[in-house]
Amino acid sequence: MSKLWLLLFRFGPLIRRLGQTPYRRFTVATLRRAGIVVANPQWVSPRAYFDIGRPNAITIEDGAVISHDVKLLTHDFSLDRVAVQLGALREGEEFVRYAPVLVGTNAFIGMNAIVLPGISVGAGSIVGAGSVVTRDVPENTVVAGNPAREICGTAEYLARSRGKFIVKNHQR
């Protein structure tokens, strides 16, 4: 993981200056080399953390956005020490859970969010900044908090928030 992070962190900002398309191509190629299943995301921050202990454990679909300092986790050792303490493991054994993470088409994951192992963030969903996602997020749903809870549907969120946003044109 450290090599991937170094590549994105070091070279990502440089390539991003050339424009979003070269940056996206570079990011997608780098993530694929690291064993992440990635389609054509809209944006992946060079500061995101990908727990890639196993190949194909993370899938990022078309149009997805992964913001700064997001963590996508695919393994859990939290019960390992408990199992040792309770004598449930033999010498040399570990108690671990591996589970894949899916970021669906056009999903948005806000800054500092943590997505735990085995979670799917549905297509068109929004995960609020700083959220800890402990359950699957249905399609077109806004979640936020720790643990993340459903706030509303994305259509409702768009309707009540539209006036707070501007439309930018990226064509040159």
Averages of pLDDT over each 10 residues, the chain, 172 residues: 56 65 83 92 91 91 97 93 90 91 98 98 98 98 98 97 85 58
pLDDT at 15: 60
Burial class, 114, CB count within 10 angstroms (exposed 0-12 / middle 13-18 / buried 19+): buried
pLDDT at 147: 98
Backbone φ, ψ for residue 132 (5° rounding): -115, 110
Full-model pTM: 0.86
Query: Which residues have C-beta within 8 Å of that of residue 115, sequence separation ≥ 6?
Result: 70, 71, 72, 73, 101, 103, 109, 121, 127, 133
pLDDT at 172: 52
Find the CATH number of the domain harbouring 10. 2.160.10.10
The answer as to whether 170 is a domain residue is no
The answer as to whether 45 is a domain residue is yes
The answer as to whether 159 is a domain residue is no
pLDDT at 1: 46
> Could you give the angle at the alpha carbon of 136 between the alpha carbons of 134 and 140, nearest 5°?
125
The answer as to whether 161 is a domain residue is no
Do 126 and 145 form a contact (C-beta atoms < 8 A)? Answer: no
